[in-house]
Amino acid sequence: MGETAGLRTVYQVAGMTCGGCASRVSKQLAEVPGVRDVNVDLATGAVTVTSSAKLDDDAISAAVTQAGYQLAN
């Protein structure tokens, strides 16, 4: 049997302008329990998080804040 793709959730993050920004956000989000993958699109500010189960929005918000940014939605 193949591995399940997981649950994908897209968040909008305000203020990211460079690769360093994306790296900081990715690193913090990767530490949230259940997160399997993080993909940042700098052009749109969209951050796609793949997880094994529904994530705690407060934990996601806290991780983004720890990286120095804010969720836009």
Sheet holding 46-51, edge to edge: 35-41, 46-51, 7-14, 70-71
How confident is the model at residue 25, as a pLDDT? 98
Question: Model pTM?
Answer: 0.88
Task: Single out the residue of 1, 6, 2 nearest to residue 51, CA to CA.
Answer: 6
Q: How many CB atoms lie within 10 A of CB 38?
A: 20
| Domain limits, the chain | 7-71
Looking at CATH, the fold of the domain delimited by 7-71 is given as Alpha-Beta Plaits (3.30.70)
- Full pLDDT tens readout for the chain, 73 residues: 445 568 999 999 999 999 999 999 999 999 999 999 999 999 999 999 999 999 999 999 999 999 999 999 6
On whether the CB atoms of residues 49 and 67 are closer than 8 A, the answer is: no
Residue 41, strand partner residues: 46
